[in-house]
Amino acid sequence: MPRLKLSNRARQTPPSPIRRLAHLAERAKKDGKSVYHLNIGQPDIHSPVEFFDAVRTFSDPVLAYDRSQGNELLCRVWADYMNRCLGLNLSAEQFMVTMGASEALVFLFMTCCDPGDEVIIFDPTYANYIGFAAVAGVTLVPILSDLEHNFALPSYEKIEAQITNRTRAILLCSPNNPTGTVYSPEEIQELLAICEDYNIFLVVDETYREFVYDGLEPFSVLQLAPGSRRVIVVDSLSKRFSLCGARIGCFVTWNEEVLATTLNIAQARLAAPTLEQAASAHMLQTVSDEYLSRVRREFEMRRDVLFQALEQIPGMMAYKPKGAFYSIVQLPVDDAEKFAMFLLSEFALDGKTTFVAPASGFYMQNGRGQNKVRVAYVLESHELEHAVAVLRAGLEAYPGRTE
Ligand SMILES: Cc1ncc(COP(=O)(O)O)c(C=O)c1O
């Protein structure tokens, strides 16, 4: 039978760099090795009990569809939560609840762009932006931010040089996945100025907003531009409350036209999950502030443990991040993907190995990130220490080591 044709869009969507080597990890486990997963940002902290309590006591006789724009109570309490933490004055009408930040990003690409329109992003980038853009037919225009300059944002002029008559938005992730960078209000203000000068949207993915360290306070672009119709914030409960599996996210904007237009798309997919929205609303109303303070302290401590261990590796280079729970680490190898494969397939220390994500998959520009990996510090401190000890011993045993 002649081959059935599939779309270029689907075939050109790159596989996730986080999961690309997962089959090797599976094989390592079948062969009896334990694997430290530093490759994926799946937090191990327990989700708030308040969420599960609400699931257990859910008493509607039918699990019906909720509103397409999101559960009314959830929109209200999410607004209350942001108003309380950030000193804002949002109302429920400015929210659109989605299936994770992921769906919010797909919706926004579809609402703000026609196929072939462009969105500026910063390289390295959260790799799934590439998949979301492919699905929506949007062209991402990457501008490099580099490890040598702590992944600071490029200058106004460098960004301006990439703007064309097809540019519709700048998309920033802060605190950043995969670099851990927390951009300052001044840097974000500068982006806002460019967006104003060129009349384009500024979309900020604040999935990791509360994960900030070294005395920094959670910050939102909404604080810089109250009432702005140009600013859209993407948010999620996945990381903040260890609720990745609930698939609850949202976007927030003062732009009624964006909300009303996206609603047409949201109606076509009917609704986000009812039970998880109800449980999230209950949780946001009842969880104590101490839950998040504890989570934040724990990740800050893990970051410090990770860096103390990484600093023992000769030839390693990394920028100590101030937020999220990731770091891009340069290793003394030419091809970090081959090294990651070696760790999974050929190496173990005391029956254990470490899974890191090759950083090349987080760069849109080919050939970048070849000697780097992304590390997610989502394990307890003693496991992190051992995972890095495995990495270090693996480097010593690796024939492709450059130093
Ligand atoms: C920067 C960033 N944005 C969005 C997402 C997707 O989040 P969600 O689980 O809410 O879809 C992630 C998940 O890792 C992320 O790191």
Last residue of some domain: 264, 286, 308?
286
CA of 32 to the centre of ligand 1 (A): 31
Domain coverage including residue 175: 49-286
Give every CB contact of residue 330 below 8 A, 6+ residues apart in sequence.
147, 316, 317, 318, 371, 372
Strand ordering across the sheet containing 357-358? 317-318, 326-330, 372-376, 357-358
Is 1 contained in some domain?
no
CA of 166 to the centre of ligand 1 (A): 26
**Can you spell out the DSSP letters for 21-84?**
THHHHHHHHHTT-EEEE-SS----SPPPHHHHHHHHH---SS-----TT--HHHHHHHHHHHHH
Which pLDDT score is estimated for 264?
Answer: 97
Is 303 contained in some domain?
yes
Is 2 contained in some domain?
no
User: What is the number of the ligand 1 atom nearest to the C-alpha of 105?
Assistant: 4
Contact criterion met (CB below 8 Å) for 382 and 44: no
pLDDT tens-digit readout, 227-275: 999 999 999 999 999 999 999 999 999 999 999 999 999 999 999 999 9
Q: How far, in Å, CA of 44 to CA of 41, rounded?
A: 9
Identify the residue whose C-alpha is closest to ligand 1 atom 13: 41
C-alpha radius of gyration, the chain, whole number? 21
pLDDT tens-digit readout, 150-209: 999 999 999 999 999 999 999 999 999 999 999 999 999 999 999 999 999 999 999 999
- 126 pocket-lining for ligand 1 (C-beta < 6 Å): yes
What stretches of 247-401 show up as alpha helix (H) in DSSP? 256-268, 274-286, 289-310, 336-346, 381-397
Q: Are 304 and 365 members of one domain?
A: yes
- 101 pocket-lining for ligand 1 (C-beta < 6 Å): yes
Q: How far, in Å, CA of 194 to CA of 21, rounded?
A: 39
Last residue of some domain: 286, 317, 348?
286
Residue 354 forms beta bridges with which residues? 36
Identify the residue whose C-alpha is closest to ligand 1 atom 16: 177
pLDDT at 313 over 80: yes
Q: Are 215 and 299 members of one domain?
A: no
Q: Are 88 and 235 members of one domain?
A: yes
Which pLDDT score is estimated for 403?
Answer: 74
Side-chain half-sphere exposure of 402, counting CA atoms within 13 A: 12
Which pLDDT score is estimated for 243?
Answer: 97
**Can you spell out the DSSP letters for 172-188?**
EESS-TTT-----HHHH
- 100 pocket-lining for ligand 1 (C-beta < 6 Å): yes
* Over residues 305-317, mean pLDDT: 94
* Over residues 100-120, mean pLDDT: 98
Is 263 contained in some domain?
yes
Is 403 contained in some domain?
no
The structure tokens listed for 270 are 């009917």
Is 204 contained in some domain?
yes
Is 149 contained in some domain?
yes
User: What is the number of the ligand 1 atom nearest to the C-alpha of 126?
Assistant: 1
CA of 340 to the centre of ligand 1 (A): 23
Last residue of some domain: 254, 286, 318?
286
Contact criterion met (CB below 8 Å) for 166 and 190: no
- Apex CA 312: angle with CA 311 and CA 315, to 5°? 75
Q: Are 205 and 231 members of one domain?
A: yes
Q: Are 165 and 191 members of one domain?
A: yes
Q: Are 91 and 167 members of one domain?
A: yes
Q: Are 19 and 75 members of one domain?
A: no
CA of 279 to the centre of ligand 1 (A): 20
Domain count, the chain: 2
What percentage of the chain exceeds 70 in pLDDT?
Answer: 100
* Over residues 76-92, mean pLDDT: 97
Give every CB contact of residue 23 below 8 A, 6+ residues apart in sequence.
none
- 177 pocket-lining for ligand 1 (C-beta < 6 Å): yes
Q: What is the mean pLDDT of the chain?
A: 95
- 167 pocket-lining for ligand 1 (C-beta < 6 Å): no
Is 315 contained in some domain?
yes
- Model confidence at 366, in pLDDT bands (50, 70, 90)? confident
CA of 302 to the centre of ligand 1 (A): 20
- 321 pocket-lining for ligand 1 (C-beta < 6 Å): no
In CATH, what number is assigned to the domain containing residue 351?
3.90.1150.10
Which pLDDT score is estimated for 213?
Answer: 98
User: What is the number of the ligand 1 atom nearest to the C-alpha of 104?
Assistant: 11
